[in-house]
Amino acid sequence: MPFNLGAAEVRDDLRNTLSTWVRELWETHGPRRAVPTGETGPDGEPLVDGVLDDLDLVPDMAAWLRRHPSWIEYHPAGGELVDEVGDTVERVRDPALFPLRGNDLR
């Protein structure tokens, strides 16, 4: 299977952009201390609110950002966040990254 280096670079850029902004928003607006929920997790450990979930996948990071629109709005660099994410998404959608194959031409 051929490897598309351009697509891989854009994927990495998108992941980096989203993870940077998730971390920045969390550090700016997130809870300042862990709060026990009174529940326990599958491992028997107490569940706490105030801990940033492990977000390794792009869809998880995008969903997290969608759940925090007011944090984006009130962040001093919220406009920069919107611009950076928008620019990166435009690069993801660039048809030059996914050229047509010979049998796809009609």
Please report the DSSP string for 61-100 in residue order.
Answer: HHHHHHT-HHHHHHSTTHHHHHHHHHHHHHHHT-GGGSPP
Residue 52 lies in a domain: yes
pLDDT by residue (tens digit) across 46-81?
A: 776 666 777 889 999 999 999 999 999 999 999 999
- Give the chain's domain count: 1
pLDDT, one tens digit per residue, over 28-39 is 988 766 666 678
Residue 55 lies in a domain: yes
Is residue 104 domain-resident? Answer: no
Domain that holds residue 16: 5-98
Nearest to 58 by CA among 25, 85, 83: 85
Residue 104: what pLDDT? 47
Q: Per the domain annotation, does 81 fall within a domain?
A: yes
